[in-house]
Structure 1
């Protein structure tokens, strides 16, 4: 039986850093360190008590946490007030700890968790709209909202092994309808304040809502998921009929009510893409940059960094193109033309999509065998590659990752959007695999979950600049490992991926700081990258609803590379790439400033 307390990691890691695979040394848990550990333990327990979905995500919705399995994370006024009080209470307790009395991992733990609370409370105190404590101005969009997330959560996260699990599924299905109505009320309140998404965001969200509603309830994944999985486990019961009745009578009507609110707002929605038009919009974007990049960069600084890196990476791509005899047109135009050549395009058929997925699995297997070249510590968790569900393909990103459960019962998953295989030239796919799976997100995220010496609360909070920066660094690492030797097109795919993230810096700041239109951003991306306009459009619309997030990738990557180069320069022949990787990853997801402290302390230890 799994219980909450068995997953609390609060003991100190004694001794100095002696080699690869260990987290940065922590002090013995006395004095301020003991106070810190107690607060972090209490914070995780509170988070688990407040979030039934977190318990399921971690795979601990069993034993004393079994009641969580029948609940969702709701958004009533009481629920939101309770969460806000939790943020403020733990922020106050952590600020009462003397940071100067902490060392090693204790200081990293304090900095990481307090950063999360500080940025959340900053948003709550400054803005009275959008997602509470997160810089997402629109509670419901093509990428946000329970209509978009809960069906997949119920299908892939909610395990069904017993009749009680199936009953809990139905309870959650009923709660889903209530959650939809709670969100709709919050959306209406935001709309009344003028926080209406751009017209193209409303249109995209409605396309997805209507796609859900177009499926007969009995054929909906909400109904078929529980029916399929109870049948597989021979669990007797009229599960399909009961799920269909809930979907018909409660979920679909609630989603229609939500769609009606968006339909009513559509005629008056503006086309302006950025958040500058919203109340205190400039500050909102600054908050987004702070939250997602963990830096204090300004919009101008982000924009200029992007322009410089676009120029540098384009020049490297130009060298490959010229060497392959592709000399006419801009870099983006030439890459775009190559991407349309038949030998590089998977057929947009079920068979073509199946073969594409198998090619990704082959890439994962090949990289898995080579990981010991650069890492001393490897994760135990496996990763599966899945197609993005068709119902949300229209608005979903091209690829994304979903972490494994804490108990190992659910593997990590790397999702790829196969709405149109033409968006994925064959030479572009290896880099995506290294980013999303190994040595990227799955590798880093699994090590964090499996690591000893990191408090549980730090295993469930993340920092986009750290994790996305690592995933982009992983693409570079794969190139350095020689995976593209003799494969100029594969290396071009890697450079296009780097270029894609540099372009994001320009476009994110362009939309939210420079006043760019959606169309201007799309045209810049198409011209610079040579990507399909359909995939670029989805990307630009994503940046519109997550201000600042698109900048986290390249800013994080730039810092990872800078820290490695500084460590190499300081240690010379004593620099050990395996130890560098193992140490930074064993210390867990953290703000970039904390990562710098980890690397600096490691370098000092190696010198000694």
Structure 2
């Protein structure tokens, strides 16, 4: 829950080239953006590395230190102070959008540094979904964003790894501080992290993710350097990294787990309700309250259940909807036999979508897309699918990760909708198009908010008819199941953190209202417990985009062009929902 440690989703991406010259207030605004971005890269080497900027690649952010956190807070204050010197009325239409996004993002992030928020968030640095230990091992493995092309890249990684070991110790110190205050995560979160660490520590040294970069070398690394680096990595894994993980694992098992709480919701913590209110707004970019979100979720669940009934009829199934769910979960024809079958299936889906996608999108990314399995060490607690952005110059592709853990529960009927969400035209399109747009200031190219990013990806699933997928009732049930998941999140997340729901109650609700397997429902519920509020953004964002599309169709009639609408939504990066609404209203007026 701590905002001090980035995850793949937070560590955005690279230094933007200068925007087109502006004059007057626009020039001042762009200068503020450029100075803010440069300062952000200096403070955040990981942010720079994700963007292909290696000037600070020999270090990590000093996470979990007061100096680092105060620097991040002061940067927000400085950004807003500088923005206050700009006369918004004298800006161009595009610059006004940028002004509004910058203001909204900085104000929202600054509220996260309020004492009542930090009191809890700062001392909960470890969870199984966004803890630094879930991100960094793959980052340093040669398969993540960190480059391993030259001797310098390898040496820089050694320096970052050493700092990672120190971050792990600071995680322990912060957790102890939380114990002293009576602020701890739920026991199930701690157990999940222990299991992740056991997986990392269980591999022999030569199979460690941290050792992986020296298993093979690029041609640019000379033989003498290879010998030195292999020895250095061997010593570091054995004497620094494995001991750091062992210290964390032993602390969690012997000290933290016995003190961790049995409750799962934020409302069980003093001040938890105020923190949850902030997390709802932070995720949705809207000042919604838990009760409102919960009611919206119940309404969406009811609507989607009716659509599922219709698909059950199309499939010719005579039983009840729960019985149809059981069929979808248990019939062997829906269960892949091998991981290779899943890989081939996603490749085939990608080709089908590519054949139709330009009917809906005039604006498409240049960044290539790769399809890969989730790394084994985190597959048990990972989502069914995820996306990691590439670099704007295409040197690192975007990656769609699919999960083959518990293979019999990775149903074939869920593959098409998952691809639309995580890959094309979902995350890969939205994130890549923003990054590739060099006319945008860097914070719009590489920043964003969950409501837009995940709302767009869920909206992308709704394009299944136009893209020629989900043509049979079983694949369509997969699409409805995915949408149902996002609707249930509104109910379950708020149920857990504002209404006192327990873990088992939340899992049962999800199984009663969808065909998802118990393993997925369990992972989802434990995710909401670990990172409250984040999962609310998907449905809120999707409903906003769908509502704006309906307005555009109603206003423009026969002149409505989905390619133009999608370009208007995507061509300025991930906007807060209020800013998106203003932009689309202006766009509709212009189309008339």
Task: Tell me the TM-score normalised to structure 1 length.
Answer: 0.91
Greater shift in the superposed pair: 388-397 or 43-52: 388-397
1:80 to 65, 69, 73: 69
Tell me the secondary structure at the aligned position of residue 228 of structure 1. Answer: coil
The alpha-carbon deviation at position 231 of structure 1 amounts to 7.4
* 1:224 positional shift: 2.2
Q: Is the 8 A contact 1:9 1:456 kept in 2?
A: no
Cα displacement (A) at 1:273: 1.2
Distance 1:232 1:488, change over 3 A: farther
Any idea what the Cα deviations from partners look like across 1:299-341, whole Å, max 9, x if unmatched? 1111111111111111111111123232323x34422322321
Matched, 1:11 2:20: yes
1:240 pairs with 2:226: no
Deviation at 1:5, TM superposition (A): 10
1:115 to 95, 104, 109: 104
State whether structure 2 residue 177 is matched by structure 1 residue 207.
no
In the TM superposition, residue 234 of structure 1 has moved relative to its aligned partner by: 6.0
| Paired position in structure 2 for 1:455 | 441
Tell me, yes or no, if the aligned pair for 1:60 and 1:406 is still in contact at 8 Å.
no
Deviation string for 1:276-313 (max 9, x for gaps)? 11231111111111011111111111111111111111
Question: Structure 1 residue 159: deviation in Å?
Answer: 1.2
Matches within 5 A, 1:275-314: 275-314=266-305
Q: Residues 353 and 303 (structure 1 numbering): CA distance in 2 closer, same or farther, change over 3 Å?
A: same
CA 1:235/1:127 → structure 2, altered by over 3 Å: closer, same or farther?
Answer: farther
Partners of 2:175 and 2:19 in 1: CA distance: 40
C-alpha distance in 1, partners of 2:154/2:569? Answer: 41
Structure 1 residues not aligned, in runs of 5+: 13-28
Gaps of 5+ in 2: 1-12
In structure 1, distance between residues paired with 2:462 and 2:456: 10
Distance verdict in 2 for CA 1:382–1:235, change over 3 Å: farther
How far 1:6 moved relative to its partner? 7.2
Q: 1:185 to 1:230 in 2, by over 3 A?
A: farther
Q: Is the 8 A contact 1:333 1:527 kept in 2?
A: no
What is the CA deviation profile of residues 463-483 of structure 1, one whole-angstrom value per residue up to 9, with x for unaligned ones?
A: 111111111111101234442
Which one of the candidate residues 329, 332, 341 is aligned to 2:331?
341
Local SS of the residue matching 2:366: coil
* Partners of 2:15 and 2:442 within 8 A in 1: no
CA contact (8 A) 2:290 2:494 kept: yes
Separation in structure 1 between the aligned mates of residue 435 and residue 201 of structure 2, nearest angstrom: 37
Higher mean displacement: 356-365 or 437-446:
356-365
3-state SS in 1 of match to 2:588: helix
1:267 lines up with 2:258 in the alignment: yes
Q: TM-score, normalised on structure 2?
A: 0.93
The question of 1:592 aligning with 2:583 is answered: no
Q: Where do residues 211-222 of structure 1 align in structure 2 (5 Å cutoff)?
A: 211-222=199-210
Q: Residue 548 of structure 1 corresponds to which residue in structure 2?
A: 533
Query: Which residue is 2:213 aligned to?
Result: 225
CA distance 1:96–1:541, shift in 2 (3 Å)? farther
Match of 1:16 in 2: none
Q: 1:103: how far off?
A: 4.1
Instruction: Please give the alpha-carbon distance, in whole angstroms, between the structure 2 residues aligned to 1:287 and 1:364.
Output: 38
**Other-structure match for 2:49:** 56
- Counterpart-to-counterpart distance in 1, 2:127 and 2:578: 32
Superposed, 1:451-530 pairs within 5 Å as: 451-485=437-471, 487-530=472-515
Displacement, 1:220? 0.7
Change over 3 Å in CA distance of 1:213–1:52 after alignment to 2: same
CA offsets, 1:441-486, max 9 Å, x none?
001111001114210121221111111111111110123444233x
Q: Is the 8 A contact 1:218 1:240 kept in 2?
A: no
C-alpha displacement of 1:233? 5.9
Asked if 2 retains the 8 angstrom alpha-carbon contact of 1:129 and 1:195, the reply is: no
Selected match of 2:311 from 320, 325, 332: 320
Deviations 1:245-272 (A, max 9, x none): 1111111222222223322121232221
User: For residue 408 of structure 1, what is the aligned residue in structure 2?
Assistant: 394
In 2, the alpha carbon distance for the partners of 1:231 and 1:339 equals 48
Q: For residues 96 and 546 of structure 1, do their structure 2 counterparts lie closer, same or farther at Cα, with a shift above 3 Å needed?
A: farther
Structure-1 residue corresponding to 2:145: 157
Distance 2:325 2:223 in 1: 53
SS at match of 1:414: strand
For residues 403-450 of structure 1, what are the alpha-carbon distances to aligned partners after superposition, in whole Å with 9 as ceiling and x for unaligned? 011332100011112111222211110100010000000011110011
User: For residues 129 and 523 of structure 1, what CA distance do their matches in structure 2 show?
Assistant: 33
Report the Cα offset of residue 204 of structure 1. Answer: 0.6
Equivalent position of 1:177 in the other structure: 165
Taking a change above 3 Å as real, the CA distance of residues 129 and 225 of structure 1, as seen in their structure-2 partners, is farther
Shift of 1:359: 0.9
2:383 is the counterpart of 1:397: yes
Q: Are residues 1:562 and 2:547 paired?
A: yes
Is residue 2:569 matched to residue 1:580? Answer: no
Residue 210 to residue 232, structure 1, CA distance change in 2 (3 Å) = farther
Provide the rounded CA distance (Å) in 2 between the counterparts of 1:6 and 1:510: 41
Matched ranges for 1:41-52 at <5 A: 41-52=34-45
Asked whether the 8 Å contact 1:10–1:41 carries over to 2, the reply is: no
C-alpha contact (below 8 Å) 1:285/1:512 kept by paired residues: yes
* In structure 2, distance between residues paired with 1:168 and 1:483: 45
Secondary structure, aligned partner of 2:57 = helix
CA distance in 2, matches of 1:402, 1:379: 15
Equivalent pairs, count: 573
Contact 2:184–2:260 (CA<8 Å) still a contact in 1? yes
1:87-114: CA deviations, max 9, x gaps? Answer: 2211222244333443422121122122
Q: 2:341 aligns with which of 355, 368, 379?
A: 355
1:101–1:195 CA distance, 2 compared to 1 (3 A): farther
In 2, Cα distance between the equivalents of 1:215 and 1:372?
Answer: 45
Deviations 1:475-512 (A, max 9, x none): 10123444233x22111111111111111111111111
